[in-house]
Amino acid sequence: MSDTARFITVDLGAESGRTIAATLAQGKIGLEVMHRFPNEPQRILGRFHWDTIRLFAEIKRGLALCAKQYGSEFDGIGVDTWGVDFALLDRNDDLLGLPYHYRDSRTEGMMEEVFKIVPRSAVYRTTGIQFMVLNSLYQLMALKRSGSPALDKARAFLMTPDLLNYWLSGEKANEFSNATTTQCFDPNAGDWARPMLETLGIPTGFLGSIVQPGATLGPLHASVRGETSLGAVPVIAPATHDTGSAVAAVPAEGDRGWAYISCGTWSLVGLETPKPVITDQTLEYNLTNEGGVYGTYRLLRNVMGLWLLQQCRRSWEKAGHSYGYDELTAMSTRATPFAATVDPDDPLFLNPTDMPEAIRQYCARTGQAPPADVAGMVRCIVESLALKYRWVIRRLEKVSGERIHTVHIIGGGGQNALLCQATADACACRVLAGPTEATALGNALVQAIAAGKLGSLADARAMVARSFPLVEYTPQTPGAWDQCAARFDERLV
């Protein structure tokens, strides 16, 4: 590796976005947040949309700050975001409407509409993707069922990061890791699942070429260079799905015996595999096969993660009580353990107007006394997440045939000591927490490999381990969780 290399990572999450300067020097990597901004979806006439134009404006503002701090030359720029959401462009490459948010209600009932034409098992056998009503497949079906003219007018289909990369570089492409989240991709064919989509009556002519993580799309577009004072910096597609980037930064040693939990608004609980695992058992457990970096797949289950706590916090704020996350964690340690648990993936929790009330409704429905106060509510959420992680990891062990001895918790959830210890106890294995900024790190490291500054994924992971301290948690009271886990498992949807 050369002495110093510097990359810009743009990391967009469901709540906020950051533009980060990543510097590789002396065998380590460091991150500096140059610009942080909120991601505030908008409700318009009952519909739920991303404010994508404003997000792009914020990205350009962040790029300008990078140029101001470090000059015009960088070794690359990479964008990662969430999965499943997309934009359609017309023949002039203009947007055909505002991009929808995956929590918009238009997909209600669309899974059933799809299964009337293509059986559920056939959809899974073709795509290997977990069934969630928010998947792109059901968003496209909603457009078809509503008679939207956008489907006929569309000439390009770009996932959210693909769209932003297009606006940055002027080059359109569908990046692999995000394309696989759509439930419109056939991993065995290595291409879009065109026969299945055509059977459903969904056009496929607008589906573009798929590029692998690390592909250089082109130099920064002249218009963006003029606005930001950056030079012709290469725009590189990392794993544009944020979990794909996060998993690339897991500081794991070896190929087996470890799992990861990328813990933020969602919790992605999984294994890294050399190929997709699509069987009757993975269908039964609703496991998903999402594309990874450098020939890998991510066999995982999406769990509704810290979204529950985030939404509770918003409800309490509306009621005039503002709590910091550290304060909530400290309060929860004083609450009675195992008083109540919920399935984080129950439909009640997808997008309620009042999350604490939704939790109380779930408890009433399942014959449990609801949490009596804020501390009990937080404790309920944390223990429920740990129990759901346990459920997923046990099933990953069954389908993979390997024993998981270490769980890496990456992302913001790694800062929650109560959650990390609960996970170690529930899963009866060692937990290593960190790095917190795994997504930004993975984004930068894939760029660095593409630019020839690092040799391999193993080199990148070793660099992460050298650069950031990890916090270890070991099981303290694993047996205490078994009885609660048995009750919890019975209530799962």
Q: Report the mean per-residue pLDDT for the chain.
A: 96
Domain residue extents for the chain: 4-242, 250-434+455-493
Q: Which CATH number fits domain 4-242: 3.10.129.10, 3.30.420.40, 3.10.270.10, 3.40.640.10?
A: 3.30.420.40
With bands split at pLDDT 50, 70 and 90, how would you rate the model's confidence at 492? confident
Which among 330, 378, 388 is positioned nearest to 355, based on CA atoms? Answer: 378
The domains spanning 4-242 and 250-434+455-493 adopt the same CATH topology: yes
| 250-434+455-493: in CATH 3.30.420.40 | yes
Cis peptide before 371 (omega within 30 of 0): no
The single-letter code of the amino acid at 15 is: E
Average pLDDT over residues 49-65: 98
Residue 214 CB neighbours (<10 A): 21
* Alpha-helical regions (H) of 130-238: 136-145, 150-153, 160-169, 176-179, 194-199, 222-228
Q: What average pLDDT does the segment 23-34 reach? A: 97
- Residues marked active site are found at 242
Token pair 């999984």 in the structure block, residue: 270
What would you report as the CA-atom Rg of the chain, rounded to the nearest whole angstrom?
A: 22
Can you say how many angstroms the Cα of residue 23 is from the centroid of all Cα atoms in its chain? 24
Q: In which band, very low, low, confident or very high, does the pLDDT at 64 lie, cut at 50, 70 and 90?
A: very high
Residue 493: band (very low, low, confident or very high) from pLDDT cuts 50, 70, 90 = low
Q: Residues 15-38: what's their mean pLDDT? A: 97
Q: State pLDDT tens for residues 125-136.
A: 999 999 999 999
Give the pLDDT of residue 374: 98
The string of pLDDT tens digits covering residues 149-189 is 999 999 999 999 999 999 999 999 999 999 999 999 999 99
Averaged pLDDT, 423-430: 97
% of the chain residues with pLDDT over 90: 95
| pLDDT (0 to 100) of residue 1 | 40
Instruction: Write the pLDDT tens digit of every residue in 224-246.
Output: 999 999 999 999 999 999 999 99
Full-model pTM: 0.92
Question: Does residue 254 sit in helix, strand or coil?
Answer: coil
Q: What's at 365, amino acid-wise? A: R
The DSSP annotation for 136-148 comes to HHHHHHHHHHTT-
Residue 392 bridge partners (DSSP) = none
**Structure tokens belonging to residue 382:** 């944390």
Single out the residue of 441, 456, 446 nearest to residue 22, CA to CA.
441
3-state secondary structure labels for all residues of 68-123: HHHCCCCCEEEEEECCCCEEEECCCCCECCCCECCCCHHHCCHHHHHHHHCCHHHH
Give percent of the chain with pLDDT exceeding 70.
99
